[in-house]
Amino acid sequence: MSAPTITLGISFKMYFGYAQTLAWCRQIAACLPRYPAVADGRVALFVLPSFPAIAPVLEIFADTPVSVGGQNLYPAPNGAYTGEVSGAMLAEMGCRHVEIGHAERQRLFGEDAASIAAKMQVALDHTLTPVLCVGEAERGTPRAAVEACREQIMQALDQATPAQRRQPLVIAYEPHWAIGAAEPASLSHIAAVCQGLREQLDTHPAASVIYGGSAGPDLLTRLAGRVDGLFLGRFAHDPAAFEAVVGEACSLVAAR
C-alpha cells in the first residue's frame, strides 16, 4: 500500500467543546466536494477530536474520505483501567488513526519509550494507523535531530512484527524545543529533518513524514515537496484556514 502524496491532519487537543467540534467538522465535510484530490486519495485528511465527540464526527465524515481517530489509547487490549480508552473500541467504532507519543503526553503524563512502544503495538494489532509524534529535546543540527527521531521511531516499533512494520504509519515531526518558543524551527531545519526521516523510512512504503509544528498558509509550498504533509494546530481551528491548506495541497498535487 502506497502513502498518499500529501497528508493533512489536525488534533483538537482539549481546545474545542462538543458543539464547536461538530460545527467545524460539518463545515469541512461540506467543502470537500470542491477538492477532487481528496476524493481520489492523493490528499489524505485525518481529524482527531476529543473522545466524547468521536461517534458524531464519524457520522459527519461517513460519506467522505476523511479519517477519524483518537488522540490517545491505553497500552493494553482491555481490562480494569478506569477512564481509559482501548484500541479495540476505537477500531470497532470505525476510527482509522490514533495519535501516539506527543510531547505533551510525555511531559504531563510521564509517557516513556516503553509505554509508547506498547501503545504502538496495540494500535497496529487493531489496524489503526499510528500518528507517531517524534522530536528532539534540544536545539541542534538537522543531522542530530534525524538521529534522535530515528531512535524514537525504532524504539516505538520495537514490538512490531515484520508484517506490522509494513502497515501505514504517519510520523509527525515536531522539535520539542520549539513548542511554545518565541522563535519556531527554521524552514531549512524542518525540510532537512523531514527529508532525512523520509530517507530513513525508504523501506517503509506506507509511511509518511509530516511536520507538526507551527504551520500556516503557504508552508507546504515553501517546503517544496520535502515533507509529506502537515499536522495542523491552532491555526486550523478556523475551518476556513484548514480548507485553505487543503486547497494548497490539492493545487500542489495537481501540478506534479
Catalytic center residues: 102, 174
Give the number of other CB atoms < 10 A from CB of residue 56.
Answer: 16
* Secondary structure (3-state) at 217: coil
* Secondary structure (3-state) at 62: coil
Cell for 121?
Answer: 503495538
CB 210 within 8 A of CB 9: yes
Direct distance between the N- and C-terminal alpha carbons of the chain, in angstroms, rounded to an integer: 20
Q: What is the DSSP letter of 33?
A: G
Cα angle 181, 184, 185 (rounded to 5 degrees) comes to 130
Cell for 34?
Answer: 470542491
Within the chain, what is the greatest distance between any pair of CA atoms? 52
Whole-angstrom distance, CA of residue 228 vs CA of residue 246: 13
Closest CA to 73 of 134, 113, 116, 10: 116
